[in-house]
Amino acid sequence: MNALKDYACVVSDVIDLTGDDKDDLQRAIALSLEESSRAFRETGITDEEQAITENKASLKRTHTEVWSDSPNPHDRKRMENCPVGLKNVGNTCWFSAVIQSLFNLLEFQRLVLHYSPPARVQDLPRNQKEHRNLPFMQELRNLFSLMVGSKRKYVDPSCAVEILKDAFKSSESQQDVSEFTHKLLDWLEDAFQMKAEEDREGEKPKNPMVELFYGRFLAVGVLEGKKFENTEMFGQYPLQVNGFKDLHECLEAAMIEGEIESLHSSHWFTELPPVLTFELSRFEFNQALGRPEKIHSKLEFPSMLYMDRYMDRNREITRIKREEIRRLKEHLTLLQQRLERYLSYGSGPKRFPLADVLQYAMEFTSSKPVCTSPVGDIDTSAPPAEQAPSSTPPEGLAPTPAPSTQQRVPIHKPFTQSRLPPDLPMHPAPRHITEEELRVLEGCLHRWRSEVENDSRDLQGSISRIHRTIELMYSDKSMMQVPYRLHAVLVHEGQANAGHYWAYIYDPHQRCWMKYNDISVTKSSWEELVRDSFGGYRNASAYCLMYINDKKPFLIEEEFDKETGQMLSGLDKLPPDLKAYVKEDNGLFDKEMEEWNTLQARKAQQEKLALAVAAAATAAVAETTATTTSPQPMSTETSTPDNSGEEKCIIFGACWARSILRGFIFYYCNMLPLPWVLQAMMTPNMQGIIMSIGKARTVFEKLGPEAAFFKAIKVEYTRLLRFAQEDTAPGSDYRLQHVIVYFIQNQAPKKILERTLLMQFADRNLGFNERCKSIMKVARAKLDLIKPEEINMEEYEMWHQEYRNFRETTIFLMIGLELFQKKSFVEALMYLIYSYQYNRELLVKGLYRGHDDELIGLYRRECLLKLNENAAGMFESGEEPEVSNGLSIMNELVVPCIPLLLVHDIEKDLLSVEDMRNRWCSYLGQEMEPNLQEKLTDFLPKLLDCSAEIKSFHDPPKLPTYSTLELVERYGRVMASLSRVPADGR
């Protein structure tokens, strides 16, 4: 709490908006606002801004939240010229990443939009119609048309996704994203093949999907002593990542298969597709653990890739260069080994740079032997008379005179007296060395050290030159004739069995990278792409690279009107049927916005009426208070005015007005809900502001509204600071009552506190009487002084988002504890699991960011133990429905939660897991029916497997909305009713 007091002193020095001298106050707030940092700019991302953005992103719980559309359609309206996002309709971020990458290939976009099904589709064989590719093509066309011309910020791909996902329902194994991508391209190829065969009867049809995405390579080699050459077609080209540092190394390894017994082969591209796609294999199966794992190692790739060295026509020159590179690498290895002997010298387990060893030896030889004093090394607790001087002084020092003629021989006392040899020097130095020896040795060491440093520099220079030679081996113009530019990078974040996908796609017209992350489409940069895609940073890395032939601009060129020459955009790009489809959807969206606007206008009218009623009631209360307050007698002693009566009267007046008006409001309940104005007046936030304005009444009457504003804001800040410094019970959490208390306890920047206070004093609910309205206008004027470039709104929103996360965590905890007390353990578990997870995310940033994690951990354990016990009881019953229900509880709830208890190595959590496992292992020695034995044998490995990855096995429950008063009251009641606290044990 001392830290909070120190922080409060610092902040109060800045937020001293509170004295009665209004000129000083104006200067204070102006000075503080000048120090505000600049807002986030879209034109560039600095390191500091990137850190703020990452912190903000980490606050938002996008990985587990149940997401829903904003009720306000204006929040879902597309900004002009902004690409359209895709809604994640349930673990479909992989679909969004793939589709956005293909959609932004404008040639592919045109092919899909202008596709028409075969005219004789009814005459096709039955198995082709059941292949689902034609229905999928129609849904894909609809989706692409919305992505072109929709007024919505993002659109729903559910119809296309469901058709694609249905193809895998019969499969028992989990399909990864690459298989979905292959299926997508297969269906597209089939659909265009049917159309091509119809359009070119009697001719060999050309399939545009094959023309775009498929190439050919020549396999050349020797098998059992016989030469062979085979031509093969390829689509997405797979590359291994493990063991390679960049894309060229991966390609070299893939093109040269090496020598496998009697097979010697290599691959050479004979024809490259316009769109060249590489699958980066970042997943491998761990045989020891029996599960797939992701490879997180770093792999670099260029924005411009030259494929000349892999072409069949360059086979001979490439072989020559590969041989030269091989020779250079062998020489490089020898040089690096030699350099390593200089940099890591010695025969023991510890090695040191040889130049440093020689330097240390030189320092030793030039050191002078400075000896210690005998008195300083003997136990000082002994009397001086018992200490004898050294009989022989160190070389170069005069003998130390004896303190007296009578000396006693010192007695050796083991473990209590430490006596070092009297002639031991303070620092290591040669004992006996002549000036000539010293001069010769120093000369040798100097010369040797110079030789070692020169040799090391020469080796490093040679190594650098070889590296440079290898890098430039393919830089001549003859090997830079097949350029491919990076078009899209598909990124995966997570582990092998779970994660999130997004895409970086280059926009050649704006000349910038765009990040497509489901509904969010934002400008990005090459630096951000590198950070997320190369690997080795967090758990994110590229799993697919899409390059396009830089000499074929038609792939990304916009379409132009043949008559006018104008570039086609929006609905003009669409064929008639899709144009009508998009217009219909846009009409529905326009209607939704109109209905919303009408509803908001009706609410505003109702609020205006309620505000007028509230103002009249408050004025009546104020008039009654003024007439009933008796004047205070004069006193000769000065005293501080007591305004507590005025505060109580204002609060009582608000309550009284609310009660009196309830009958009036009920009259209009069908057209007017309970006035939110009066409700707002009774929130802790509004109460404090009204009280602070009440205390500034005298200042208002004498000096006017501006001085009263500074007085009121000082009173309010002082009140909140007192709350922040108080030690309270868990049920009386002032952070829930006011966001400023949360900010103070967590040492938010002063600018955040200032703006938040100003926003609250600028609340339009204060406009119910002249005094409050005048102060509200002053607060709004202060806000208007803050220019957009003078305050970092990203940081401001980041803090408020964190506070919203804190409130959300509180609601999860509150509902979880309520359900636990009602013994609804199945429902309680989800709330307790998510409250614990979210609370730990908050506590990582500070002690006061969240709640007591031991308390939440206790009830999380208790809930799991109760569920485990109940499930075991069901299993013991032997009844088939009960047994199935018990094992279902274990498989769907308890087992997925066990990794959550093991991940942080908390002793009480580990003991709880052992208790649960022991409960089920106790059945192993018991006799039971064969069917129960079979089910137990099948279930126990799942329970005992500690290596399981942590998964988001359920989406968090959807939370109800609570007002501040409701949340504070209900949370306090729940915390007061708890029967156990962490001190009780596990």
Catalytic residue among 492, 738, 800, 851: 492
492 catalytically annotated: yes
- Which residue type is seen at 480? M
- Region of 768 on the Ramachandran plot (φ > 0 left; ψ -120 to 50 alpha; else beta): alpha
Q: DSSP for 186-214, please give it.
A: HHHHHHHHHHHHHHTTTS----HHHHHH-
CB–CB of 280/327 below 8 Å? no
Tokens of 785: 């002084």
The Cα 1–Cα 316 span in angstroms is: 76
93 catalytically annotated: yes
- Which residue type is seen at 556? I
The Cα 372–Cα 423 span in angstroms is: 7
800 catalytically annotated: no
Going from the C-alpha of 201 to that of each of 134, 188, 205, 632, the distances in angstroms are 20, 20, 8, 107
Angle at 87 between CA 85 and CA 93, to 5 degrees: 95
The Cα 417–Cα 267 span in angstroms is: 80
In 426-497, DSSP assigns E strands to 483-495
Q: Nearest Cα to 489, choosing from 305, 251, 294? A: 305
Q: Nearest Cα to 539, choosing from 875, 891, 839, 294? A: 294
Catalytic residue among 93, 250, 649, 772: 93
Catalytic residue among 131, 487, 500, 738: 500
- Residue where the block lists tokens 């980066």: 280
Q: What is the 3-state secondary structure (H, E, C) of 654-700?
A: HHHHHHHHHHHHHHCCCCCCCCHHHHHHCCHHHHHHHHHHHHCHHHH
Burial of 408 (0-12, 13-18, 19+ CB in 10 A): exposed
The Cα 767–Cα 643 span in angstroms is: 22
Q: What's the DSSP call for residue 892? A: I
The Cα 191–Cα 141 span in angstroms is: 12
List Cβ neighbours of 541 (8 Å cut-off, separation of 6 or more). 280, 282, 296, 299, 491, 492, 532, 533, 534, 535
List Cβ neighbours of 142 (8 Å cut-off, separation of 6 or more). 159, 160, 578, 581
Tokens of 876: 């013991």
Any idea which residues carry the catalytic annotation? 93, 492, 500
